[in-house]
Amino acid sequence: MTDLLAQRDSWSTANCSIARALEVVGNRTTLLLLREASFGTRRFDDFARRVGVSEPVAAARLKQLVADGLLDRRPYREPGQRTRDEYVLTAKGSDLIPVLVALRQWGDTYAADEAGPAVRLTHDECGAAVHARLRCDAGHDVPPGELAVLPGPGLLSA
């Protein structure tokens, strides 16, 4: 790992997965809309109110989340009302839930006020607390100090 990291100045950041992910979800409103979608929010007015943004901002961000494939827009109609759209997480959007859990976990530890976190996550089946953790494919929990950085197929030279 040390040899590759020592050569970081020779890498191009043009193919950085973190940078590309942040292009999609890298602002506060987008992450809060995804939080709400992960909690089951579906209706436009509920998104705008719960996230605390104006309707134009909510509309623009939800439109972008649909364009990026994180949400699906589905029509629904209440009896006697016009047809409206609801927003539902796609598989791609659901794959961000562990990221939201990890961000919440960090916030619970380092950013919550003295009263503690606003919500807790538990496993619906058994009631145990849910946490994000680093785990290798062999099933070992991996402390951050034991991560190895190896070249991937998309590593580009600067």
Asked if residues 134 and 141 have their Cβ atoms less than 8 Å apart, the reply is yes
Per-residue confidence (pLDDT) for residue 57, from 0 to 100: 98
pTM, full prediction: 0.89
Q: How confident is the model at residue 158 (pLDDT cuts 50, 70, 90)?
A: confident
Per-residue confidence (pLDDT) for residue 46, from 0 to 100: 97
Per-residue pLDDT tens over the stretch 111-140 = 999 999 999 999 999 999 999 999 999 999
CB atoms < 10 A from the CB of 48, how many? 20
Per-residue confidence (pLDDT) for residue 49, from 0 to 100: 98
Kindly tell me if the per-residue pLDDT of 13 is higher than 80.
Answer: no
3-state secondary structure of 6: helix
Per-residue pLDDT tens over the stretch 26-62 = 999 999 999 999 999 999 999 999 999 999 999 999 9
